[in-house]
Amino acid sequence: MIRFFFLFALFSFSIIQVHAADALNSSQEEEVRKLVRDTLLANPEILVEAMGILQARQEQARIDQQKSNLKHLSSNLKGPITPTDGNPDGDVTMIEFFDYQCGFCKKAFPGVMQVLKEDKNLNYVFKEFAILGPESEIAARAALASQKQGKYKQFHVALMTVRGRLSEDKIMKTAKSLNLNMDQLKEDMHSDDVNDEISSTRELAQRLGITGTPAFIIGDQIIPGAVPPQALKDAIEIERKKL
C-alpha cells in the first residue's frame, strides 16, 4: 500500500509537471512520460490496487448516501396499510422488502420467521416490493387486500411456501384455500390504499437504492440478500446497543 501511494504520487507529480509547459522542455517531458510508462509496465498491479481503492471508496460513498437518505425517510417507512407483525411496541424494528416470486426471499423466509418468533421485542414490517413481473404485483395486491379480511399473515406464509412460479390462477387458488371472500378480495386489490402502498414502496426503495430482494432495514443498516438468521440477530443487537 505504501509503495502504491509513493508511485501514485510520482505519477501525479509527473503529470502535473508535464502540463507545466514552462517548466519542462520537450525532451524532459518525454523522459517523464517514459518514467511513468516504465513504472506502470513494471508494476501493473498498481492499476489493480488503484481500482480496488476506487471501488471501495465508491461503495463507502454509496453506503453513506444510503444511510443519509434512510435518516430523512425514516418517517415514511410505514404507510397506513403497511402490514406488521411481532411486537408493535418493540424497541427495534426490522423492515423487509420482498417479492413472492423471489427464490432468495423464500430461502430467507424460515430464518426471518425464526428471528421473529425468538425475539419478543422485535417489530417487523412487511414491504411488498413487487419487481419480478406482473404475477409479483398480483400477489402483492392480493396479499395487501387480504389484510382487510384479517388474513394477511396467513396469506403471506402461504404465498412464501408455494412451490414453483406463481400464476394468477395459483395466487387466487391460494386465497380461496384460506376461505377469503374472493369478490371482496378482487375489488380490494385495486383500492386506492393498496395502489398507494404498492407505489410508495417502489418509490421508497428507489430513494434508498434498494434494487433487489430480499433487503432488510434494521436501524440505519440496510442489509441486502438472503442473509442467515444470525446476521439479522447481530444487526438487531447492534441497534439495541444504541438505545
HEC assignment per residue over 95-150? EEEECCCCHHHHHHHHHHHHHHHHCCCEEEEEEECCCCCHHHHHHHHHHHHHHHHC
List, in order of start, the domains of the chain with CATH numbers. 2-72 (no CATH), 77-242 (3.40.30.10)
Q: Which of 172, 14, 170, 154 is nearest to 85 (CA)?
A: 154
pLDDT of residue 21: 47
- pLDDT tens for 104-163 read 999 999 999 999 999 999 999 999 999 999 999 999 999 999 999 999 999 999 999 998
Mean pLDDT confidence for 45-53: 77
- Higher-confidence residue of 17 and 77: namely 77
Cβ distance 24 to 32 under 8 Å? yes
- Provide the pLDDT confidence category of residue 220 given band limits of 50, 70 and 90: confident
Phi, psi dihedral angles at 140 (to 5 degrees): -65, -45
pLDDT of residue 39: 78
- Amino acid type, 109: F
Mean pLDDT confidence for 20-26: 62
Cβ distance 159 to 135 under 8 Å? no
Q: Looking at the DSSP assignment, which residues form a beta bridge with residue 215?
A: 97, 224
Cis amide leading into 214 (omega within 30): yes
**pTM of the predicted model over 0.85:** no
- What lies within 8 Å, CB to CB, of 130 at 6+ separation is 99, 100, 136, 137, 139, 140, 141, 198
Q: Is 218 helix (H, G, I), strand (E, B) or coil?
A: strand
